[in-house]
Amino acid sequence: MKLVEARLLDHGVGKEYQFIWIETLFGVETPNRVVISVNPNTGQVMSYMGILRQVEIQLKPNISKEEAIEIATKQFDLKKIVHSKAKLSVEYPEKGLQKLVWIVEVEGEPENGIMQGGLVVVDAVSGEVLLVSPYM
C-alpha cells in the first residue's frame, strides 16, 4: 500500500485527519484502498473503510505512457502544453468490468485566464479513449 493522501479536513463544525492508501502492483494502482479518518484532538479513529478486490486482468500495457499522453493531448485544442502526467490504474469503466487504463492529465497554456486541458482515461491495451473531462 502506498500513502497517496494525508490531510486535515475542516468541515466548519469539526475537523478530521484523512489518510488514503492505495495498493500498487508493478507500478499499477489497483482498486484496493484504505481510508482512515482520525480525530485531530483525541487521536481516535473516527472511520475506517477498506476495499479489497481481486485484480483479474493483465497488468502489462500495450500502449506506452508516451503514446497515452499523445492520445490524450489530441482530445483538446491546445496551443501549447504546459504539463502532462500519466499513471496506470485498474478501473471499472462499466459495472463488473476491470480495465487497465492510463489516467492522463494534460494542462495547456491558459487562454484569457481560463485553464485549458483536462483529464483523459485511455485504455492501456487498445488505446481507446474511455473518458474526456475538460477543465472548467
- Mean pLDDT, rounded, of the chain: 94
Q: For residues 129 and 79, state if they share a domain.
A: yes
For the chain, percent helix, then strand, then coil, each to nearest 5?
5, 60, 30
Does residue 85 lie within any of the structural domains? yes
- Give the residue from 51, 74, 92 where a domain finishes: 51
User: What local confidence, expressed as pLDDT, does residue 69 receive?
Assistant: 96
Total number of domains in the chain: 2
**Helices and strands (DSSP H and E) totals, the chain:** 1, 8
Cα dihedral 50, 56, 62, 64 in deg (nearest 10): 10
Q: Is the full-model pTM beyond 0.75?
A: yes
Q: Quick: pLDDT tens for 57-105.
A: 999 999 999 999 999 999 998 889 999 999 999 999 888 899 999 999 9
77: CB partners within 8 A, 6+ apart: none
Cα gap 112→96, rounded to integer Å? 42
